[in-house]
Structure 1
């Protein structure tokens, strides 16, 4: 029957209705791939999986400070704010995620850093886009960026777990920044 009537649909009307549904689904899928703007920089706190240490990222002071739980004086700090950080159970190792979270710019090169592994203020290893992807064609294009995947977080076994856009999970050793089997 025709929508909102009791009259049966003919062949031409069925085809037209089918194409309308298909077009609606296509438009809806394109909206899902649209890029939403990031929230303005804001102060936030993340804690290690064992909750012994917490890091406070503050855009007002352009800093990331790591505290023992309940302490008011940081045990160490970085003089830069980052939109996405992850803290290991030892409180010494911190990972900086991409500033665009799950999105990276279209002008990204394979050599560009994606994840930065730190031991306090020292960079241990920078994982590049090319360390995770053979080519940029492996990434999913959105309206104005590439969707690379997402950082799931630090596991209870001190591994950084990442899920690539393909769905594959990758684990990194927190201390070295090297890929390893997920524990």
Structure 2
């Protein structure tokens, strides 16, 4: 077994992701994460204290990786708006597939946050982070702080809420054709960009 000071929080987050992919979200425990990382449950507890804190770290890690990728796409693209929209929608769509565990974790934490001030605060911080990054991305390709008289701050909140709302629909409505929904969103956004 590895020594506690040898394993990092990042190692444990990766172990937790593997556990979820291999065994499902319901089998995620501090013990299973420790076993996957070759350490004791106590070592995982030392880093996270609760399963909720571990789940928040997983969601934060996935969220930050996704937004960093989108920021890089925006920086590298000559046709920033269209490419960024397509990449952002593809990233969101992949989180809405039945096999994706991101929104299962995210929505579980939102539900927990309704009765847990610490979790609510951390999830609120995550949503603020997402809104700020999204606002910055929108401003970078429209070149202004308003679109159709609405601030980019409000647009970022609306689009973020739309994606999270679609996650609820995907998880709860069995026959929802999420692929067609995303095709419609892309068509709407690209037409709006063409008219700008």
Q: TM-score range by the shorter chain?
A: under 0.3
TM-score w.r.t. the length of structure 2 is: 0.24
Identify the structure with the greater helix proportion. 2
**Higher RCO (C-alpha 8 Å, min separation 6):** 2
